[in-house]
């Protein structure tokens, strides 16, 4: 299983459909369709659709149809965003003022997309991403999973953060343990491909040992690097500044391939992400129109031409 994440955002205008076509041309076999609801801050107990981040359900339905038409299996990927954050705050460390009310809102969020995933014949559903503060809530997660299974019969996956994946209390109810794989590969901005490969192999060994011991199939649900100086040191820091560095992004993906190629313990991965125009002046995560695209296309076995950043 190999794929890219594609976002479904407000005012999509068909962009997601075009990106799905491009993903299929890379040799990918899956696409993760990312949909978002939002809460106001880390203490909020309310979760809702947002005109800022929530794409239309009709756009998700169209994207699921397009994925099938292009021979791609789809993972519906609901993700919770936080509108206002202070230093050090993020969705992995929420502190809802009313945990019970928050959980009811979260269940509504996931069950909404479980129904859409079922209607659109998605192959898999993400039931949570990087919610480390809640991963010990075994009974609540079991209740949610039971509700999901009443409407959706595909695979279920949870995406744990790269530094917080060893204590998922509901692991027995999942088909796959996903990892948001933003491992810090180096402390330097000029690390060689060989150094990055050694770092990735250490991380891969730890992940596969954990998956084997837990008896769970392993996915990298997010793995990505911005084309920005310092990406290998802090790949998770989407707000970092720094000059464009296409070569550092390429080295990071080459290291990923070297570490995982032929590894039977890895059931699949999704590259974060295939969105935006990309190209040589872009500092964001997409490999579109950059040297990293060629690395991934070669690994995925693409036979068509690379995407043009001007298309």
Report the C-alpha gap between 208 and 238 in whole angstroms. Answer: 27
pLDDT tens digits along 75-94? 999 999 999 888 777 778 88
Cα R_g (the chain), whole angstroms:
18
Q: Can you give 245-273 as a three-state secondary structure string?
A: CHHHHHHHHHHHHHHHCCCCCEEEEEECC
3 state SS of 244: strand
Query: pLDDT value at position 305?
Result: 61
pLDDT given at position 240: 84
Place of tokens 């003022």: 97
- What is the rounded CA–CA span in Å between residue 44 and residue 85? 11
Which tokens go with 241?
A: 């500044």
User: Which residues is 6 bridged to in the sheet?
Assistant: 33
pLDDT per position as a tens digit, 23-61: 999 999 999 999 999 999 999 999 999 999 999 999 999
CATH placement of domain 2-300? 3.20.20.80
Closest CA to 299 of 28, 86, 16: 28
- Name residues whose C-beta falls within 8 Å of residue 198's C-beta, 6 or more positions apart in sequence: none
């Amino acid at each position: 299983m190999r794929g890219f994440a594609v976002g479904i955002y407000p005012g999509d205008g068909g962009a997601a459909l075009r990106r799905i076509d491009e993903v299929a041309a890379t040799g990918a076999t899956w696409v993760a369709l990312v949909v978002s609801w939002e809460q106001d801050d880390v203490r909020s107990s309310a979760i809702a659709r947002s005109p800022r981040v929530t794409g239309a359900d009709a756009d998700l339905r169209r994207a699921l149809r397009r994925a099938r038409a292009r021979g791609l299996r789809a993972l519906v990927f609901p993700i919770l965003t936080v509108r206002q954050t202070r230093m050090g705050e993020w969705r992995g460390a929420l502190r809802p003022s009313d945990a019970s009310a928050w959980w009811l809102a979260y269940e509504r969020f996931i069950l909404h997309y479980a129904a859409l995933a079922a209607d659109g014949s998605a192959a898999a559903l993400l039931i949570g991403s990087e919610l480390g503060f809640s991963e010990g809530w075994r009974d609540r997660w079991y209740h949610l999973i039971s509700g999901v299974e009443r409407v959706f019969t595909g695979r279920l996956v949870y995406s744990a953060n790269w530094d917080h994946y060893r204590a998922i209390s509901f692991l027995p109810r999942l088909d796959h343990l996903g990892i948001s794989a933003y491992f810090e590969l180096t402390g330097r901005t000029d690390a060689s491909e060989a150094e990055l490969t050694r770092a990735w192999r250490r991380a891969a060994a730890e992940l596969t040992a954990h998956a084997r011991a837990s008896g769970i199939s392993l996915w990298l649900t997010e793995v990505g690097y911005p084309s920005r100086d310092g990406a290998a040191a802090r790949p998770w820091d989407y707000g970092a500044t720094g000059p464009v560095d296409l070569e550092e992004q390429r080295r990071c993906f080459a290291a990923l391939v070297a570490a995982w190629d032929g590894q039977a313990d890895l059931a699949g991965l999704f590259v974060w992400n295939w969105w935006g125009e990309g190209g040589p002046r872009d500092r964001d995560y997409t490999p579109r129109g950059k040297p990293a695209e060629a690395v991934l296309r070669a690994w995925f076995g693409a036979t068509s031409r690379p995407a043009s950043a001007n298309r």
